[in-house]
Amino acid sequence: MSHSITRSPKPLGVFAKQNLHGQIAEYLGTKIVRGEHLVGEVLPTETSLGISLGVSRTAIREAIKVLSSKGLVEVRRKTGSRVRAQRDWNALDPDVIGWQFSGDGTPIRMINDLIELRRIIEPACARLAAKLATAEELAEIEKAFIEMEQATGKTEASVEADLKFHLAILEATHNSFMRPFGALIQAALRASFRLTNADTAAYRLSLTKHRAVLVSIRGSDPEAADMAMQAVLRGSQRDIEHVLRSPTLSSASAQEKKKRSTRRKRS
């Protein structure tokens, strides 16, 4: 079953003149990754999009080039810009990741994919950090944890502190690929943390698990750090499953599926 966390979409506002085509690409790209434009669907013409968005055809053309470079659309003469299947998207493009995890329309399957990726990578990173972290890096991890404690009950602040904690551990691996990897998935991590950190009781329990990670890394115990991080991620998975069972989400998912069914019939 496919779920997504969906509320009413924000209306399109007036685009700022600076980086106009980038803003248009983000607007159209977000609609594509959320399924508002179906695979194989041809986007409206440049003229039509220009009129509806109140921008020039040149800006639309440049935005479409951006989407094409990221694999979201295929541009053909005469037939226009056609939406491509997800398998064709540049899955590691920071914008594509950010668009999929932005706002309130993140598909739950994407959150689950993220958790699976984290369970592959982060325990090993915690293990490396326990072996290699410098005093300065340990201080950053501890500082982030303190901020997590202080942010209890404040969802957005806790999300940023949680993000800082995990990125600090990636940094402490001394692996040259981990820093860009962390930067790459920041938007995805924020979306995941926003899901799990809203429940204060669950967040307090998560803090206990994060503390165990910190203590293990500080104690230079790779095995314990690995196990502690696995416990953090298992807890995240349980919290997400709890959110999926919530009546509010179930109702939102049903409404979204109804909307998509209607769009398919119209197309």
Residues 119 and 227 grouped into a single domain: yes
68-72, 96-100, 144-148, range with the lowest pLDDT: 96-100
Q: Is residue 75 part of a domain?
A: yes
Residues 191 and 142 grouped into a single domain: yes
- Return the pLDDT at 260: 47
What mean pLDDT comes out for the span 146-167? 96
- Return the pLDDT at 188: 84
Residues 182 and 214 grouped into a single domain: yes
Name the more confident of 72 and 99: 72
Report the number of distinct structural domains present in the chain.
2
Torsion of CA 67, 68, 73, 75, to 10 degrees: 130
Residues 168 and 137 grouped into a single domain: yes
pLDDT of 267 above 50 = no
Domain that holds residue 162: 107-248
Contact 172, 139 (CB under 8 A): no
Residues 48 and 79 grouped into a single domain: yes
Residues 114 and 244 grouped into a single domain: yes
Q: CATH number of the domain that 111 lies in?
A: 1.20.120.530
Residues 231 and 121 grouped into a single domain: yes
What mean pLDDT comes out for the span 154-159? 95
Helices (H), 36-171: 46-53, 57-69, 94-100, 108-132, 135-150, 155-171
Residues 83 and 185 grouped into a single domain: no
Residues 71 and 115 grouped into a single domain: no
pLDDT of 115 above 80 = yes
Q: Which residue has the tokens 């779920």?
A: 3
Q: Is residue 62 part of a domain?
A: yes
Q: Is residue 12 part of a domain?
A: no
CA–CA separation, 231 and 156 (whole Å): 23
What mean pLDDT comes out for the span 243-250? 62
CB atoms within 10 A of CB 158: 25
Average pLDDT of the chain is 86
Q: Is residue 267 part of a domain?
A: no
Contact 72, 32 (CB under 8 A): yes
Torsion of CA 235, 177, 182, 249, to 10 degrees: -50
How many Cα atoms sit within 13 Å of 198 on the Cβ side? 9
Tell me how far apart the 2 most distant CA atoms of the chain are, in Å.
65
Of 45, 32, 49, residue with least CA distance to 85: 32
- Return the pLDDT at 58: 94
Q: Is residue 14 part of a domain?
A: no
Residue 44's pLDDT band (cuts 50, 70, 90) = very high
- Return the pLDDT at 250: 46
CA angle in degrees (0–180, nearest 5) for 47-53-56: 50
Residue 2's pLDDT band (cuts 50, 70, 90) = very low
Last residue of a domain, one of 89, 119, 144: 89
Q: Is residue 207 part of a domain?
A: yes
Q: Terminal CA-to-CA distance of the chain, rounded, Å?
A: 23
Kindly state the percentage of the chain with pLDDT values over 70: 83
Q: CATH number of the domain that 44 lies in?
A: 1.10.10.10
Q: Is residue 80 part of a domain?
A: yes
Which residue type, as a one-letter code, is found at position 225? Answer: A
Last residue of a domain, one of 58, 89, 120: 89
| pLDDT tens sequence across 200-240 | 999 999 999 999 999 999 999 999 999 999 999 999 989 88
Name the more confident of 158 and 240: 158
Q: Is residue 59 part of a domain?
A: yes
For helices 46-53 and 20-33, angle between their N-to-C axes, nearest 10 degrees: 100
Residues contacting residue 74 through CB under 8 Å, at least 6 positions apart: 68, 81, 82, 84, 88
- Return the pLDDT at 248: 54
CA–CA separation, 247 and 256 (whole Å): 14
Residues 173 and 71 grouped into a single domain: no
Residues 112 and 33 grouped into a single domain: no
Kindly state the percentage of the chain with pLDDT values over 90: 62
Residues 117 and 39 grouped into a single domain: no
